[in-house]
Amino acid sequence: MTASRPTLIALLGLALLLYALGLWSQITRPPGESDLVLLEDKYPVQLDTISFDQEETLRRFLEQQQPGDLVTLTDASGKEHSLVLSSSISMGHRWLLILSGLLFWGVSAYFFADRIHQRDSRYFFWCCLLYGLAISTGGMFYPRSPEWLDRFLGIVWVCTSASLPVLFLHLTQNFPRESRPRPAMKLLFPALWVIAGLVALFRYVTWEGFVGKLTSQSFARAQFASDVGDGVLVAEVVAAFGILLLKNRTLETAQQRSQVYWLMFGMFLGLLPYVFLRLMPGLFGLSPLVQHPIVDRLFELAIPVIFVISVLKYHLFDIDLILRRSLLYVTLALLLVGAAVAAVATWQQDRNPLWILGIGAGAGLLFWPLRRWIGHALDHAIFQVAAPTEEVLNRFRESLEYAPDRETILERLESFLQSQLGLHEVEATLTDMATTKDRKLPDDETAHTHPLRIKGVDGGLIRLGAKESGWGFLDSDLELVSQTATVAQDAIEKMQLREAVFREAQAKEQLKELNRLKNDFLAQVAHDLRTPLSSITWTTQNLLEGVYGEMTEKQRAKLGSLDSASHYLNRLINNLLDIAKLDKREPSPKLASVSIAAVMESALQICSPLLEAKKLSIENHLTDDKVHGDEERLSKVLLNLLDNAIKYSPPGGTLFLSSTTDGNTLTTAIGDSGPGIPDDPETLFQRFR
């Protein structure tokens, strides 16, 4: 989730206010480095009614005073020492603090805030903003009036100090591309945030305990909590560098590896004095290698600068254009701030300078909402940078409308981007098309990549080479790449849909053609069988009618079977013709009153040669009941059942014919003395079983 623009403006305004309050709190804190030198061997000393047995507790107590205050201390011998307190921060250190705060805030507001929707830029934004806040607030100080302000600034400092290492770890996971954490690592970051919260709470509670008691024991507890926080910070920073080293081995392009090197260099350079030369030796009981905090401030200036370079190395922005445009931004902002400060200073000369500075900071903040509009104006008027119009995208969309295949769409996509962005090379591939051998743009020459997401395809990628101008990519360039990728994806999906519809229509036509050929074949077979069958039927009828002389009863019975069989074969031929007509209309049954006994008698007559061959006997218990049905189809069913019974009956066996009536239902059964039907109901009604 990213913040809305009003929320972001309010956040940056609040941060700027905290920066100013923190810097004012640090600058006006005594005592100076040399204020307590005369007392270094005279402890314990007493101030009013409070006794101090070590310099550190006294120094902390004196933080509630103002530079220039006069305090009188009494040492152990009763001698009084009068001290005029000076500021704990030198003039050079003050300006360096102000410069650091403005640099961190400026990079956050003017460089990363507009890109906070990008995951890596989001972490850069928070790291810069909170690092500057930690520098500006400076630590936890002994509270002075109003006490709530110092306590609040102390909470801000302890929370930012505990959060920064965790944010740095987040950054290492998401820059230059997001790493997928292992399942066991999913709870790591929530656990780190819990630890950061506990450390911050521990440090603040022990500090408040010291403020309330001002004893060596309470200070020792506060120092222990500080050491714990420092130890956690050092461990997390070292872990972050380790993650970057490991991640660098898995990065695909030389460009990404270069980014990681820059990030590691900047963080190491910025954290070198404070983390590696001050905190780390102290954790091992050694003397810090760097004593003065001004060294920390100098090296920390490298962090926001290197952050910017690391992102610019990503070629997401045009470096030359960014620098020139930013220079104009800063100039306009300074003019606005200067005009506001001059106006207020002229109007109210007796005002506190800090109040006037706040008015100037507010005027500078008002410039931020106008920056996008001013940036577009500068792009068009000065740098001649214009985003492609909708008309250009429509022309590109029309060029893909009738592309014959995916390869043509990708070629036109490459040509469009190359001409619009002025690139040396563009390569667009789909996963099921690309091979390493076909690649024309190596990884180390790829300046930017954009995914292609198409239904039915594992994925694809647009690889952009460097610009012919030598510049990098603006946000408008990346927006154009995203829009053209969407247009190409839609065109490929539409083409695939058309191809699928065409293949389906083609398959239907083939199926129709096969069905027509089948029907033609069946009609031809039926026609070819009718001619010899008619001859057989005609000859059999003549023999039965005595045209060729008288027949014996045995001969007449045999001819009767032949005649029934020929009529049955004729019905089968008619069925073939019915099947051939199925595509035209469903043949309707010819319903009439049918005697089951008569139909069975006809079937027995047809099968009489088979019955005699196997010497099968018949036990006929059929009734003379009639049913309403199609005689031809009933005859076919009974003949099939009878043929099956004869086929599986042993020689000399018996067939059992019976029929029973139950209301309007007539049940006819044909039994045999064969092996029976296997216990496999799933295959019982399969064809050709």
**29: pLDDT confidence band, cut at 50, 70 and 90?**
confident
Report the mean per-residue pLDDT for the chain. 78
**438: pLDDT confidence band, cut at 50, 70 and 90?**
low
Low-confidence winner among 320-334, 355-369, 492-506 (lowest mean pLDDT)? 320-334
**436: pLDDT confidence band, cut at 50, 70 and 90?**
very low
Q: Which amino acid is at 409?
A: I
Closest CA relative to residue 65, chosen from 96, 36, 98: 36
- Using the predicted structure, report yes or no on whether residue 131 has a pLDDT greater than 80: yes
Query: What b-and-e string marks burial along 226-245, b requiring 16 or more CB atoms within 10 Å of the CB?
Result: bebbbebbbebbeebbebbe
pLDDT digits (tens, 9 = 90+) for 198-254: 999 999 999 999 888 888 888 889 999 999 999 999 999 999 888 888 887 777 666
- Using the predicted structure, report yes or no on whether residue 90 has a pLDDT greater than 90: no
Looking at the domain that runs over 387-587, which CATH code has it been given?
3.30.450.40
Q: How far apart are CA 543 and CA 556, in angstroms?
A: 8
**What's the average model confidence in pLDDT over 125-149?**
89
Closest CA relative to residue 212, chosen from 60, 24, 85, 87: 60
- Asked if 30 contacts 66 with a C-beta cutoff of 8 angstroms, the reply is yes
Low-confidence winner among 145-149, 417-421, 573-577 (lowest mean pLDDT)? 573-577
- Using the predicted structure, report yes or no on whether residue 681 has a pLDDT greater than 70: no
Long-range contacts, stretch 16-21, CB < 8 angstroms, 24+ apart: 16/105, 16/361, 16/365, 17/358, 17/361, 18/133, 18/136, 18/137, 18/153, 18/156, 19/101, 19/105, 19/132, 19/133, 19/136, 20/136, 20/354, 20/357, 20/358, 20/361, 21/149, 21/153
- Asked if 393 contacts 476 with a C-beta cutoff of 8 angstroms, the reply is no
For residue 165, the model assigns a pLDDT of: 92
For residue 546, the model assigns a pLDDT of: 74
Q: How far apart are CA 107 and CA 477, in angstroms?
A: 22
pLDDT digits (tens, 9 = 90+) for 367-379: 666 666 666 665 5
**345: pLDDT confidence band, cut at 50, 70 and 90?**
low
For residue 96, the model assigns a pLDDT of: 85
Q: How far apart are CA 445 and CA 655, in angstroms?
A: 89
Work out the widest C-alpha separation in the chain, in whole angstroms.
Answer: 167
Which 3-state string (H, E, C) describes 410-453? HHHHHHHHHHHHCECCEEEEECCCCCHHHCCCCHHHCCEEEEEC
DSSP 547-570: TT----HHHHHHHHHHHHHHHHHH
For residue 490, the model assigns a pLDDT of: 87
- Using the predicted structure, report yes or no on whether residue 641 has a pLDDT greater than 50: yes
**365: pLDDT confidence band, cut at 50, 70 and 90?**
low
3-state secondary structure of 594: strand
Report how far apart, in Å, the C-alpha atoms of 360 and of each of 129, 334, 339, 354 are: 20, 9, 8, 10
Q: How far apart are CA 313 and CA 132, in angstroms?
A: 23
Q: Which amino acid is at 311?
A: V
Greater model confidence, 299 or 360: 299
Kindly give the pairing relationship between strand 617-621 and strand 654-662.
parallel
For residue 159, the model assigns a pLDDT of: 94
Q: How far apart are CA 45 and CA 47, in angstroms?
A: 7
For residue 320, the model assigns a pLDDT of: 47
For residue 1, the model assigns a pLDDT of: 43
Choose the most confident range, by mean pLDDT, from 193-207, 238-252, 384-398, 570-584.
193-207
- Using the predicted structure, report yes or no on whether residue 162 has a pLDDT greater than 90: yes
For residue 440, the model assigns a pLDDT of: 64
- Using the predicted structure, report yes or no on whether residue 324 has a pLDDT greater than 60: no
**119: pLDDT confidence band, cut at 50, 70 and 90?**
confident
Q: How far apart are CA 474 and CA 378, in angstroms?
A: 14
**366: pLDDT confidence band, cut at 50, 70 and 90?**
low
For residue 347, the model assigns a pLDDT of: 59
Report how far apart, in Å, the C-alpha atoms of 250 and of each of 119, 179, 461, 522, 603 are: 19, 10, 19, 67, 83
**What's the average model confidence in pLDDT over 20-31?**
87
Question: How many Cα atoms sit within 13 Å of 71 on the Cβ side?
Answer: 25
For residue 292, how many other CB atoms are within 10 A of its CB?
13
Looking at the domain that runs over 589-683, which CATH code has it been given?
3.30.565.10
**688: pLDDT confidence band, cut at 50, 70 and 90?**
very low
For residue 325, the model assigns a pLDDT of: 58
The reply to whether the predicted model has a pTM over 0.85 is no
pLDDT digits (tens, 9 = 90+) for 311-321: 665 444 444 45
**What's the average model confidence in pLDDT over 595-618?**
80
Closest CA relative to residue 471, chosen from 631, 316, 627, 290: 316
72: left (phi over 0), alpha (psi -120 to 50) or beta: beta
For residue 322, the model assigns a pLDDT of: 53
**What's the average model confidence in pLDDT over 116-125?**
79
Q: How far apart are CA 424 and CA 419, in angstroms?
A: 10
- Asked if 293 contacts 93 with a C-beta cutoff of 8 angstroms, the reply is yes
For residue 475, the model assigns a pLDDT of: 66
Contacts of 482 (CB under 8 A, 6+ apart): 450
Closest CA relative to residue 357, chosen from 98, 135, 86, 146: 98
For residue 679, the model assigns a pLDDT of: 67
